[in-house]
Structure 1
Amino acid sequence: MKLNLQDIPRVKTIKKEDFITNYFKPQQPVVIEGFIKDWPAYKKWSLDYMKDIAGDKVVPLYDDRPVSHEDGFNEPHAEMKMSEYVDLLKSEPTKYRIFLWNILKEIPQLQKDYTFPDFGLKLMKTLPMLFFGGTNSHTFMHYDIDLANIFHFHFEGKKQCILFDQSQNKYLYKIPHSLIVREDIDFSNPDLKKWPALQYAKGWQCELNHGDILYMPEGYWHYMKYSSPGFSMSLRAIARHSKNLGKAFYNVLIMRHFDAMMRKFKGQDWINWKNDQAITRTHKGLK
């Protein structure tokens, strides 16, 4: 038995009006294939190019180790020069990923290689972020703290993406006071006997290739797995729906700080309790 996933619609390009009507207003994901072919980045951006232009930069690296009470918010697990990291990606599979790397801050000249597309949403121009990964590296299933609308531009290689909207929370083994689900669930090949609620979840899937854009609506859960070494850039627009804006403010102003406080005072017992509650609450909901 497999997850109940439907393919995300794909279009070659799209007009602003069509995007707003068919995808933003109904909050449906879409892959846009040919929209950025006139960007310099479409031809220039590769792992080798990033090595050349940013080789001396020390980059933060993350792997798939379980969350610990000792971890700070978005605290990296290791650091490495970009040149060494690209060599690692191209030489062997590695779990190390670059996560939320701000290209405006680190490599300002990369701004010349792209323009901010007009999809009818106001993009946050100070927050273009890069994400890198090697073969079979993956993110945990999570959603972003600000529940933003996300445009995910992929470069080099292939990446598998699985999405769920917030209405599926009751089936996903969501960790309370957190933005993730149980970290021991392999969404690329889940054990539905161990995680039976997942069979009721309805989601989306796609494969991203060089130049593809994935639109992820507000608050969508996303799991990313690199089929081969590659990287992506995300641009975001603030949540426009009042319910999601409210959740975003709660996450940033209350939930994040409450979770940090409980980690400090209860340590690993707090993490263990949350993991247990993810199972208890999900299975209770099924009954």
Structure 2
Amino acid sequence: MAAPGGEAAAAAGDALWAEVRALLPGAEEALPLALSGAVEECVPPLLRRARALLYGAGDPPRGPAAAALRRLGDVLRDYAWEKLNAGPWRDVGKAWRQVYAYGCLFGALAEAAGGGPLAPAVRLCDLGLLMGASVLDNVLARLVRVLQAHLPGGPPRAAAAASAQSVRVDPPPTPVIQPEDALPHLHCPSLEHFRDNYLIPQKPVVLEGTIDHWPCMTKWSVDYFCQVAGCRTVPVELGSRYTDEEWSQKLMTVNDFINQYIVNKNRMGYLAQHQLFDQIPELKQDISIPDYCCLGEGEEDDITINAWFGPEGTISPLHQDPQQNFLAQVFGRKYIRLYSPQDSENLYPHESHILHNTSQVDVEDPDFIKFPNFRNAASQSCILMPGQILFIPVKYWHYVRSLDISFSVSFWWS
């Protein structure tokens, strides 16, 4: 006779699999494996074999069948991984990204069917969302939401938030901005006023009162991210700025990032990525595209939304971007200094192609012997506060330093 605990675990596993199975077609032949381009001829048979194991080895596939499905997922991911890293990302064929996504899907399904911990399955879904291409109507995004709901609770979230808030008791010193250098502030300007006075003449401005209605302004905190996304795997930039020699990138869970780089102030790391809101739709529901983006030439789908989450002291070196930028501050403060594109020659951009949009000058500690013309560059500055949006015109040089634990959302638009 099975122990009551074992019966409960089995019932929970069956309930989970019923939810997972509902995301997939009812029959093997109804699950398409179409790819957007050509791949090596050994790959389609591997995909078909994995599909057959999923549908033909019992419901759910367990024991040897689950192990075989897990191995096939590993093989498909390894095969695709070589192609994803063989050259520039823009040259990677979509078909190979789809193969990688299928490998993640079959691996995650094997983990879910096996009855073990679900964290590996969640990680595989996130890897597929980050590196793969959408398959089966973005099934990985739907699968990870089901899996996340069945994860056991982690450490008390309030304790994590309290630890993060204890990083600094006293507020850091705020840079002094002279009135003649301060950026102008506007409260909810009309579309026409913003267009005529700032967009067309390409002048930066701080907008106030335009995002007060966003749910994130009252919901988001370190504690909230632990709750909503703590188990999710995301890319993290390690180091205080991307021009440092020791700068690198690493995949880790949001919980690990917060514990290692938000709570522990002796290490520098920054969550900066444009896929976060697609990867975790709960966050995307809490923000909106600013109305002023309708003045652009592109479609709404062409707007790139970026997340920037990190501790006090993280720095974006002086650089320029190829699109208009609305930088919205959700919590924390940022010191930002801007320079006109007309001053580019005085800002000493790197000569390498990779960093040609980045200045060699340390803005807050410039070497005037090495970069004498930097004295001639005129700047404007602001302390971007929660609830404010900074309009950064295309190609405008900007330097950013976080004064607190900080979360910002940027919108790149044309």
TM-score tier, shorter chain, comes to 0.7 to 0.9
2:409 corresponds to which residue? Answer: 233
1:46 equivalent in structure 2: 221
Q: Secondary structure at the match of 2:252?
A: strand
Query: CA shift at 1:67, angstroms?
Result: 6.4
Q: Distance in 2 between matches of 1:186 and 1:93?
A: 22
Q: What is the match of residue 21 of structure 1?
A: 196
- 1:204 equivalent in structure 2: 380
Q: 1:3 to 1:206 in 2, by over 3 A?
A: closer
* Alpha-carbon offset, residue 190 of structure 1: 2.2
- Structure 1 unaligned blocks of 5 or more: 239-287
**Mean CA deviation greater in 197-206 or 99-108:** 99-108
Residues 125-147 of structure 1 deviation map (CA, whole Å, 9 limit, x = unaligned): 45211012211110121112xx1
Cα distance between partner residues in 1 of 2:411 and 2:220: 16
Q: Using the TM superposition, give the Cα deviation of residue 47 of structure 1 relative to its aligned residue in structure 2, in angstroms.
A: 2.4
CA offset digits 1:121-179 (Å, max 9, x no partner) = 246445211012211110121112xx111111112111111111211111001112321
Partner residue, 2:371: 195
Task: Return the TM-score normalized by structure 1.
Answer: 0.72
Q: Which residue is 1:33 aligned to?
A: 208
1:131 corresponds to which residue?
A: 308
Q: Secondary structure at the match of 2:380?
A: strand
Alignment partners' CA distance in 2, 1:161 and 1:124: 27
- Quick one: which of 77, 81, 99 aligns to 2:272? 99
Q: Is the 8 A contact 1:3 1:199 kept in 2?
A: no
Judged with a 3 Å threshold, the aligned counterparts in structure 2 of structure 1 residues 105 and 76 are, in CA distance, closer, same or farther, namely farther
Q: Is the 8 A contact 2:177 2:381 kept in 1?
A: no
Instruction: Report the residue type matching 1:99 in the other structure.
Output: A
On the 8 A contact 2:177/2:382 being kept in 1, the answer is: no
**How far apart are the structure 2 equivalents of 1:59 and 1:164?**
32
1:116 — aligned with what? 289
Contact map agreement 1:94 1:135 (CA 8 A) in 2: no
C-alpha displacement of 1:61: 2.0
- Which residue number corresponds to residue 243 of structure 1? none
Inter-partner Cα distance in structure 2 for 1:134 and 1:18 = 35
**Corresponding position of 1:251:** none
Q: Distance in 1 between matches of 2:266 and 2:396?
A: 28
SS of residue matched to 2:407: strand
Change (3 A) 1:102 1:212: same
Matches of 1:106 and 1:197, distance apart in 2: 44
Query: CA 1:32 to 1:93, structure 2 compared with 1: closer, same or farther past 3 Å?
Result: farther
The alignment yields a C-alpha RMSD, in angstroms, of 2.5
**Is 1:84 the counterpart of 2:262 in the alignment?**
no
Residue equivalent to 2:342? 167
Q: Secondary structure at the match of 2:316?
A: coil
Q: Which runs of 4+ in 1 moved over 6 A?
A: 2-5
1:11 counterpart = 2:186: yes
> Whole-Å Cα distance in 2 between the matches of residues 124 and 131 of structure 1?
21
Q: Which moved more, 1:81-90 or 1:194-203?
A: 81-90
- One-letter amino acid of the counterpart of residue 180, structure 1: T
Q: Distance in 2 between matches of 1:199 and 1:84?
A: 42
What's the % identity of the aligned pairs? Answer: 27
| Aligned CA distance change for structure 1 residues 214 and 93 (closer, same or farther; 3 Å) | farther
Conserved 8 A contact 1:48-1:86: no
What is the CA–CA distance in structure 2 between the aligned matches of 1:203 and 1:56, rounded to whole Å? 42
The answer to whether the Cα contact below 8 Å between 2:274 and 2:304 also exists between their aligned partners in 1 is no
User: Is the 8 Å Cα contact of residues 143 and 220 (structure 1) preserved in structure 2?
Assistant: yes
CA distance 1:65–1:152, shift in 2 (3 Å) = closer
1:79 alignment partner, SS class:
strand
One-letter code aligned to 1:98? L
Q: How far apart, CA to CA, are the structure 2 residues paired with 1:212 and 1:163?
A: 16
CA contact (8 A) 1:94 1:134 kept: no
| Structure 2 residue 357 is the aligned partner of structure 1 residue 179 | yes
Give the Cα–Cα distance (whole angstroms) in 2 for the partners of residues 107 and 67 of structure 1.
30
Do the aligned partners of residues 98 and 20 (structure 1) sit closer, same or farther apart at CA in structure 2, a change above 3 Å counting?
same
**Which residue identity does 1:174 align to in structure 2?**
P
Which of 368, 387, 394 is 1:218 aligned to? 394
| Worse-matched range after superposition: 76-85 or 132-141 | 76-85
Are the aligned partners of 1:95 and 1:134 in contact in 2 as well (CA < 8 Å)? yes
Q: Which has the higher strand share?
A: 1
**More deviation in 95-104 or 18-27?**
95-104
Give distance in 2, aligned partners of 1:124 and 1:234.
14
2:327 aligned to 152, 155, 158, which one?
152
For the residues of structure 2 that align with 1:216 and 1:172, how far apart are their CA atoms?
17
Cα distance change on mapping 1:36 and 1:213 into 2, 3 Å: same
- Contact 1:154/1:232 (<8 A) preserved: yes
